[in-house]
Structure formats: structure tokens, C-alpha cells
Amino acid sequence: MGASANKVCYARAMHGVDRSIKKGLRQFLDPEQQRNWLEGKATPADADERSQSLEQRFKYAARLEKLLRRPQAQDVLEILKIYGATCIPIPRTTERRYWSVSCLPTSPDKPLVRVNAGWMELFALHAEADDLRARIILHLSDFTTDGSPEPDHLDQALLEHCVARPEDVGHFHWKADTFGAKVRGAASIRTFLAAPHALRAIRRFNLTHMNRGRNAYQASHCYSLADVMLGEDDQ
């Protein structure tokens, strides 16, 4: 076989390999299934059983006990339960490997809890006096007037429409097509998670990062908090 023929065979073989490699969430849900979940048209079947590490469960159990002594604890648990049920696809199947939740992580900004996927923070809750504030990372293009990633095109009215009171929401630009919504108060956080436009935006951002590969924050995953998010807690 000539050199040119060898190159053709190699190219075809590599093409086949490339097509067969699936990263992240694509291993479990095809593009149509992901779109249907994104639009709220279908809930894909999740695993019945969870893959767990008992060593890791015990490692962070004491942090949950510490969190439960905070005045914001009940709101944190209720909001995480909403987030787990509505914002993460097939959460049991993808737990820890493709998303994780940290309890009282040792970050400079001292969040109470933080949800991550890939290399990205998705959602964090912070104490604000006896109440809460949330940081929710999203695609900027979901909240601009023309669907562009331009910060000066942000639709402030749309953002304010997603919370209980306009003064409860702020924002910051991160980079490229990424910005953060800052939502103050447990009531407005719940409202934001339930608002159709905001919920779709959260789902789209989460799909983006769950599709980029393995979660880089697996080592800080708190199974006790994940129990809450998956509706398997006794709280």
C-alpha cells in the first residue's frame, strides 16, 4: 500500500475514533435528550443507585453538623434541594464525577456551600447576617437584549424580573460569555431558581460545564449535602 493510501486509511481511522469519544454528560445523554431537559420537555431516567466513597462521606460529615448550627441552615438545605431537583440533569448518575457540592469550603470568600462542575463554580450560597445571598454563574448571552455576549447589552429589567424585588439582584462580568448574578435573600433566591428564564439559563450553563469533562472538585464533595440535593436526607 502506498504512502498516500496509508494516510487516507489513517485519517479515516482517526475520524472514527474522534466520533466515538464522548466527554462529560454526552456519555449518558445524547444532544436531543439534553435539549429536551434544557427546555423542560422531559426528565431523563436517572440511576437508582449512587456510587459512593464511605471514606469521603465521613471526611465531611462534621462540616454538615457545623453548617446545621448556622441560622441560615434550613434555608440552605431547602434551596439546595430545589437546585438538585431542577438544575442538574441525572444527578445520581453524574454525582461527584461531573458535579459536586462542597460544605463550608476553605475559600477566601467563605461560602456556606458551593456547587461545581468541570473547573467551574456553578452556584454558591453565602451568609448575609441571618439570611443568605447567592452567586449564580451563567452565560451572559442569556441575559442580554440581543443574545450577544456584550456586557453593555445586559437586560437589567429581565434580570430584575427573575427575583422577588428588583433591589435583590446585582451582577458582575466574569469573562467572555460568563457573568455572575448576585441574589440577596432566601426568598429571592427561590424565586430566581423558579423563574422560567432564569432556570433555563442555569440549565444551559450547567450543561456547558458538565459536558467539558470530569469535575475537578471531586475531592471536596460532601455526600451528606448531596443527600439533601437528591432528596435522600432525613432533615
Our count of domains for the chain comes to: 1
Q: What local confidence, expressed as pLDDT, does residue 22 receive?
A: 79
DSSP-derived 3-state class of residue 173: strand
pLDDT of residue 211: 97
Residue 137 lies in a domain: yes
Q: Which residue has better confidence, 18 or 184?
A: 184
- Is residue 155 situated within a structural domain? yes
Q: What is the mean pLDDT of the chain?
A: 91
Q: What pLDDT was estimated at residue 21?
A: 67
E strand or H helix at 188, and its extent?
A: helix 186-194
Structural domain span for residue 153: 54-229
In a domain, 171, yes or no: yes
27 located within any domain: no
Give a yes or no: residue 211 inside a domain. Answer: yes
Q: Cα separation of 108 and 191, whole Å?
A: 28
Q: DSSP for 52-121, please give it.
A: --HHHHHHHHHHHHHHHTSTTHHHHHHHHHHHHHHSSSSHHHHBTTTBEEEES---TT--SEEEEETTEE
**Residue-wise pLDDT tens digits, 47-102:** 999 988 999 999 999 999 999 999 999 999 999 999 999 999 999 999 999 999 99
Report the predicted TM-score, pTM, of the whole model to 2 decimal places. 0.89
Asked, for residue 224, whether it belongs to a domain, the answer is yes
